[in-house]
């Protein structure tokens, strides 16, 4: 029972501390401008992220050895992972800076396809679909990035071969992570709205550009760490 509580708390704390995971959501949440809109955005953004962790939990329930094989891969895979994280963060940074409109470029087209092929589907809120799609893009990156931490928190479950405990541990970690990031997005959205009312300054635009620049620097850092060893690997000896 204690290990499950620790898993939830660790996921909750990790939601605040994982910069590359929470920063995009925090910035998007802040620029929504209200607790309600920010919370809805965070929930929709987190659904795919939670789903990925749920899949990992189901894999652990089937076979802990299989989960270790999924999460502990060839070290060379980390090169690809670093580049993937950098590219995803650059996409978020470019959108926040206003280089392209994610909802117009992607969400609207997908909504049109869904409504065309499934007549019963009526997607009137492209922004909500956009929040879900952003979370979908980022969910795999987030799960892979926190993979080593996940393996650590349910190490006891692996040693005891308690598959159900391993499943619950991952599930509670995900619940804690989703809860903290949703709360954070809601708080930032409320704070932004409060500051704009008090100062009459467009705080959301300020946060959008500052957040974009910070995310861009983080993205470039990941790309450098990923591309440098890749070039050494490809260069003739």
Question: What tens digit of pLDDT does each residue of 89-118 get?
Answer: 888 888 878 787 666 666 566 656 555 544
Which 8-state DSSP code applies to residue 166?
Answer: H
Candidates 141, 143, 15, 146; CA nearest to 83 is 141
Kindly state the tokens that stand for 48.
């795919």
Coil, strand or helix: which one is 149?
helix
Query: 40-54, 96-110, 213-227: which has the minimum mean pLDDT?
Result: 96-110
**Within a 10 A sphere around the Cβ of 150, how many other Cβ atoms?**
25
CB 2 within 8 A of CB 153: no
34: left (phi over 0), alpha (psi -120 to 50) or beta: beta
Distance CA(185)–CA(39), nearest Å, equals 6
pLDDT score recorded for residue 180? 87
pLDDT score recorded for residue 93? 84
Candidates 8, 1, 7; CA nearest to 179 is 8
Question: What tens digit of pLDDT does each residue of 147-196 get?
Answer: 555 655 555 555 556 677 778 888 888 898 888 888 888 888 888 878 87
What are the residue boundaries of the structural domains of the chain, listed by start? Answer: 2-230
């Amino acid at each position: 029972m204690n290990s499950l509580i620790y898993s939830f708390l660790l996921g909750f704390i990790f939601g605040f501390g994982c910069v590359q995971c929470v920063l995009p959501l925090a910035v998007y949440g802040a620029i929504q401008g209200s607790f309600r809109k920010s919370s809805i955005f965070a929930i929709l953004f987190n659904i795919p992220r939670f789903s990925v962790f749920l899949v990992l939990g189901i894999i652990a329930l089937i076979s802990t050895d299989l989960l270790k094989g999924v999460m502990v891969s060839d070290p060379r895979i980390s090169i690809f992972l670093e580049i993937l994280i950098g590219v995803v963060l650059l996409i978020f940074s470019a959108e926040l800076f206003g280089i392209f409109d994610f909802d117009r470029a992607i969400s609207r087209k997908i909504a049109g396809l869904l409504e065309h092929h499934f007549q019963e589907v009526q997607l009137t809120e492209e922004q909500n679909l956009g929040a879900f799609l952003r979370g979908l893009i980022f969910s795999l990156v987030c799960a892979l990035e926190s993979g080593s931490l996940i393996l650590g928190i349910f190490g006891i479950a692996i040693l005891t071969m308690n598959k159900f405990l391993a499943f619950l541990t991952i599930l509670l970690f995900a619940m804690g992570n989703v809860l903290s990031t949703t709360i954070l997005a809601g708080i930032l959205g409320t704070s932004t709205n409060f500051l704009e009312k008090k100062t009459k300054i467009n705080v959301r635009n300020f946060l959008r550009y500052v957040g974009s620049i910070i995310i861009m620097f983080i993205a470039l850092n990941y790309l450098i760490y990923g591309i440098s060893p890749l070039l050494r690997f490809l260069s003739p000896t």
